[in-house]
Amino acid sequence: MNSGDIIASRYVLERPLAKGGMGAVWVARHLELDARVALKVMAPEHADTSFARDRFQREARACAQIQHPNVVAVHDYGVADDVPFLVMELLQGEDLQTCLAREGRLSLAAAIAVILPVCKGLRRAHELGIIHRDVKPSNVFLARQGEDTVIKILDFGVARVTHDVAGQTTRTGVLLGSPSYMSPEQARGRRVDHRSDLWSLAVVLYECLTGRLPFGSQALGDLLIELCTEPAPPPTRMAPDLPAVVDPFFARALARNPDDRFQSAEAFADALASLRSGLPSLTTGPSIAMARPPSTSDVSLAQTPPPAASPTAPGVATTIGLSRPRAAKLVLGFAVPVVLVLGSLVAYRLFSPKEPLETTVAAPTEPLPAQPPTIAAPTASTSSTPAPMVAPTPPESTPSAAPSPDAPRKTPQSSAPRGTSKRPSPPSSTPTRDPTFGF
């Protein structure tokens, strides 16, 4: 096929997008809708193979049934000139394999941000009885949609549909998929279920975090033996900067017995979410940004930390910038109430009225004589002879009780101080209450 060819009278081929062993993917344009799509065409040499045709049809049915935001959408399927074709949504971005080849590895936060949406897409597929059987980085696409990056699962060509419309399932004993990401039961050619997809997804996550595969033998035979007999090395052995909590997660996710693994994509996602919530404030591992592919515009994950050259520390910069103002606010919060209380006490002491002296009790033998306002002050005497002593009259009631208004007034006699020949001291300047006026 060449650019400009028209497929099924409505799709015109514009340029090749990708090529594989089973066929090629083209950027095509719908003639009537004037919309660009991805058109997957089977290679002519495989068009007569029933297996290849079944694979195309299986992929079209699976994607059409799932209809999930994290699974690539299929718009059309048909046969043109005896060659099957598949029309899918055209995605802008890059697959995870290309990203890892460029970046090496991802931080734990970035890897979880990629894998969680894959869990959601697989959960929907598993609910419909569809087993992907070929989960690997090249089938995880980082699609750019506006300012966001949406994770898409690609290529359900080798998917197993447990309840196929035609009532047929894939035969056992056939090795399908990518050996490096196969589960042990899949490598043995046995019938697999949804837990095989979760094994493959754990291998993808392992590669994202360490930059290596847990089983890395180059020869296919050695790889299958290693896969079926040897345990996966802990990821912290490959990447010591990872937190120790990832080791128990992979010990379960890569358990050789399917019954010992996570039993659903939902349980897998919950464990990932718990792992993410337990992360320290500093991002563990190198923080890799989804860089810009050479031929496309920026592909950025909303939750991807900044590049490894400047390791991210979420919240640290903000904390440092706000530490001094926050301390000043705390000091003011304690100092202001104290100053207000002390100021209130000082104001109260300064401006509160003086207590009257009527409550002051003099010595019983020398009561303080009252000075009526109508009586003039005694004339100073030049004689050195002391004035005659007048015996004090015992009070009839307590000092605080006011005398009766009808009682006769008595002019008190001033008494000279004892043991002195000098004139008596003038009365105290402190005002006293006159019982006559009832103050």
Answer yes or no: are the C-beta atoms of 156 and 58 closer than 8 Å.
yes
Q: What is the DSSP letter of 13?
A: E
Answer yes or no: are the C-beta atoms of 128 and 65 closer than 8 Å.
yes
The count of other CB atoms within 10 Å of the CB of residue 32 is 7
The count of other CB atoms within 10 Å of the CB of residue 114 is 23
Angle at 27 between CA 26 and CA 31, to 5 degrees: 115
What's the rounded Cα separation, in Å, for the pair 383 and 380? Answer: 9
How far does Cα 3 stand from its chain's mean position? 49
What's the rounded Cα separation, in Å, for the pair 248 and 255? Answer: 11
Q: Which of 95, 134, 155, 197 is catalytic?
A: 134
- For the chain, give the number of residues: 439
With tokens 């055209």, the residue in question is 90
What's the rounded Cα separation, in Å, for the pair 371 and 362? Answer: 16
Question: Is 434 part of the annotated catalytic residue set?
Answer: no
3-state secondary structure 114-155: HHHHHHHHHHHHHHCCEECCCCCHHHEEEEEECCEEEEEECC
What's the rounded Cα separation, in Å, for the pair 152 and 134? Answer: 14
Indicate the burial class of 435 (C-beta count within 10 angstroms; 0-12, 13-18, 19 or more): middle
Catalytic center residues: 134
